[in-house]
Amino acid sequence: MTFNDIIKKTVIENMQNNSLSMTNASVTIGICILFALYIYGIYYLANKKSFYSKQLGITLAVLPVITAGIIMAMQSNLIVSLGMVGALSIVRFRTAVKEPKDMVFLFWSISIGIILGAMNYELALIISIAVTILIFLLELLPGGRPSVLLVVNMDEQGDETVLLSAVKTFVKNPIIKSRNRTMRGTDYIIECKTAKQKELLDAASSVEHVLTTSLIAHDGEAVY
């Protein structure tokens, strides 16, 4: 018997021993549905006060079931496993994830499907509890004061130094993010961190040669 024959025999025996019964599959899918509903509930609770997407919630609930089914099929049949590898290698996902925290839920959902597909229920439970604790615990930690963008339109006689002096009355370190010269004058976008937004707006508006002022909240991903 050659080395290749030994490898083929070993692979075939392993695949035969890993034959999936309908009972085990039904139990795994049932447990997977419970975990999927749990992930959906945690996603709803963690995002109901900010940006909540029902479509993403449904996706998170369905992903573990699909992933678990793929893993069980790959374990039980060598031909299916090779076919899955080929099929999944040509799949391209082009939908952009808008919120970074959504990536956590997506990886959580897929990981739980993989773990349950391998029938490691205890590990799936431990990971789900740990992720839940981290999500809500880190949410309670205080964050820094969010920045706002002060947009100022000045005419041709406007003085940038005078404008910055007025802004520094309420902002410690204002940062000019953009200067745009127009026929009417100059437009400024200044990043500011302050709790006195109304006072800042009034101070900037009172500067001589300022035409318009506005404050815009942003999340650090603004494009200038």
Residues 28-35: what's their mean pLDDT?
A: 92
How many structural domains comprise the chain? 2
Q: For residue 66, is it left (φ>0), alpha (ψ between -120 and 50) or beta?
A: alpha
- In b/e form, how buried is each residue of 112-126, taking b as 16+ CB within 10 angstroms? bbebbbebeeeebbe
Q: Within a domain: residue 195?
A: yes
* pLDDT tens-digit readout, 63-91: 899 888 888 877 766 555 555 555 555 55
Distance, in Å, from the CA atom of 108 to the CA atom of 60, rounded to the nearest integer, reads: 9
Domain boundary among 140, 175, 204: 140
Same domain, 55 and 115: yes
Q: Within a domain: residue 8?
A: yes
Which domain covers residue 20, as residue numbers? 3-140
* pLDDT tens-digit readout, 130-185: 999 998 898 887 666 677 888 888 888 888 888 888 888 888 888 888 888 877 78
Domain boundary among 97, 118, 140: 140
The pTM score is 0.62
